[in-house]
Amino acid sequence: MINKCKIGAIGEEYALKFLKQNNFKILDKNFRYKRLGEIDIISWESDIICFQEVKTRSSIEYGYPRESVNFKKQETIRKLAQIYINRHGLQDENIRFDVIEVYIEKKESHIFLKSINLIKNAF
């Protein structure tokens, strides 16, 4: 049986591979600050720092992955992004917030990538 945490980690790996193939430079992954929360991926695209939330699903039975990035989650990501920016002296850089939807198929004990959807400026 594959649990939710493992599926999330696999989705993040697929997202990282996708970003690298599309010329993003990965700055950080799973950035955490105290008990505030986590940003899944932080990357550069051209001259923009991208703070990216990865959501992995095997179906849309309970809604699209992007719909789970609610206002509370967005606020947490914004706060964490500000901490990251301050820590790394990036105040003068352009930023954006993306959601990466990873669609997978589960067969027995294996997970296969179906598709990835990068939603730029998601919030």
Helices (H) and strands (E) in the chain, counts: 2, 5
Reported as a pLDDT band with limits 50, 70 and 90, residue 2 is low
pLDDT tens-digit series, residues 112-123: 999 999 999 999
The domains located in the chain, with CATH, are: 4-119 (3.40.1350.10)
- The candidate with the shortest Cα–Cα distance to 107, out of 58, 65, 60, is 58
Q: Look at residue 1 and tell me whether its pLDDT is greater than 60.
A: no
- In the DSSP assignment, the letter for residue 93 is S
- Single pTM value for the model: 0.92
Burial (CB < 10 A; 0-12, 13-18, 19+), residue 40, is buried
